[in-house]
Structure 1
């Protein structure tokens, strides 16, 4: 499906705003940058900025809206015979590891880790997806929508980005986490 000119222009504006915000946050620090500064740097009005983002924290995590749908799709659209845990492992490898390999990830992590408002927003952002992911998992296994095992698996998967932060080998960390989810915890030598 091709995207129309209007949608492409909206997406370009959104990306320009997000790019300007991240650049300013990394250069000056989160608390020293105002919404007006970001709007000016992106050459848009503050009204336009707020049409694309709910607030200052959302500017840092500009891909949040797509993540929930991608997580749910990983469960619902997995190939026949593939387990939910394996589908989620594949999804995390594909998406989280791409983020971990970004050349600015160390700067981004330092920004988030060094800004209490961003750390709190990041944790809330991921936990917002827990209900949708849990419901998708429960539906796939024929469990009730409030199934505790489905909720636990969803929560564990959503904590992976926080666990990966600062790891020397994020791919190995992802595999360790999913091995734990598949076979249970055992102390490692």
Structure 2
């Protein structure tokens, strides 16, 4: 794997600084009380620079969306030959979702998104897009039509796991139970 050059590192650092500043301000003041200008100033960049990295205010909250979609698809396409799709997605969710639930800002982030209609709508559009891409990757892997309903249903179920397990007592156990259901069906 090639190490990113200085320019790419600077772009990534600026993007991260913007996302961090936005989340900090949103958690402190509330989403609707923070302007794009406030975020740019907190990250010490211009609003033009902010818009080079993010299409709008909502995107600052879901700053890892593109990476997450690519990683979900990679979990399907780059899994070991002897591993099934459901098991690969289980490993991905356990490795990525559970650590987020332990993050100190997790409760605040969840309350922010849950309490802000614009963020709820944006999040739903984002997850729908992810479900379409993941469903197509699962279908390609299974050798069926890209719009296969079972493949898209599996993608939606997997993507709903964070919402289903959010705030629950034992999220690891809940994630495992959901994947057991997906793998073995209802008993």
The bucket for the TM-score relative to the shorter chain is over 0.9
Number of the residue aligned with 1:138: 139
Gaps of 5+ in 2: none
User: C-alpha offsets along residues 94-133 of structure 1, whole Å, 9 cap, x if unaligned?
Assistant: 1111211111101110111111111121121111111211
Number of the residue aligned with 2:17: 16
Is the aligned partner of 1:95 residue 2:96? Answer: yes
> How far did 1:142 drift?
1.1
> How far did 1:39 drift?
0.6
1:133-172 → structure 2 map (5 Å cutoff)? 133-172=134-173
User: C-alpha offsets along residues 55-106 of structure 1, whole Å, 9 cap, x if unaligned?
Assistant: 1011011100101110010001111110100000000001111211111101
Gaps of 5+ in 1: none
Q: CA RMSD, aligned part only?
A: 0.9
May I ask how many residue pairs the two structures share in their alignment? 186
Of 111-120 and 10-19, more deviation after overlay is shown by 111-120
Q: Distance in 1 between matches of 2:61 and 2:166?
A: 16
> How far did 1:185 drift?
2.4
User: C-alpha offsets along residues 134-175 of structure 1, whole Å, 9 cap, x if unaligned?
Assistant: 111111111111111111101111111211211121111110
Which stretches of structure 1, 4 residues or more, deviate above 3 A after TM superposition? none
Q: Distance in 1 between matches of 2:165 and 2:64?
A: 18
TM-score normalised to structure 2 length = 0.97
